Structure 1
């Protein structure tokens, strides 16, 4: 599967599962979330500064250890970010917080 096919199959974090168009939008920049509980979702990072993404993100979810808590995702050291729109990096699950 090439990158474009993978991009089309992902669902963007924050979109409802019954949203008629839950996928990525052309020209936007995304991070792929890797590991439970949000594994496989895409996070729209288009309007975030690089430092915000490099420091990791805490994403609200009912699926983490604490319902209503946050799942923590961080880039792995040494994993490079590709420039441009589409999926440019991966963020890995590092834990949960209430």
Structure 2
């Protein structure tokens, strides 16, 4: 994957360090336009990780400033579809 795809959700595409940081916990978006983005789930409870989430996205069918509805993959709660 390219650096753009592996950036943390919510960071700018031209951020100096858009990738994962060693002291944080991330999920992986596995489908749709934000595929490969890494939402920071540090501090989320197991219940929050196991629920659907509407995440902000700058990539989408209708342009920037949208939301993408993600659900944890069965058997892999840190991979969202």
TM range, smaller chain:
0.7 to 0.9
Whose Rg is larger? 1
2:47 corresponds to which of 45, 51, 56: 51
Question: Following TM superposition, by how much is the alpha carbon of 1:56 offset from its aligned partner in structure 2, in angstroms?
Answer: 1.8
Question: Following TM superposition, by how much is the alpha carbon of 1:25 offset from its aligned partner in structure 2, in angstroms?
Answer: 0.9
Could you tell me the TM-score, scaled by structure 1's length?
0.67
1:32 corresponds to which of 12, 21, 28: 28
Displacement over 4 Å in runs of 4+: none
1:74 corresponds to which of 67, 71, 74: 71
Separation of aligned partners in 1, 2:44 and 2:66: 22
Separation of aligned partners in 2, 1:18 and 1:66: 22
In structure 1, stretches of 5+ residues that fail to align are 1-8, 82-88, 93-98
Separation of aligned partners in 1, 2:6 and 2:58: 20
Structure 1 residues 55 and 70, CA gap change in structure 2 (3 angstroms): same
Could you tell me the TM-score, scaled by structure 2's length?
0.79
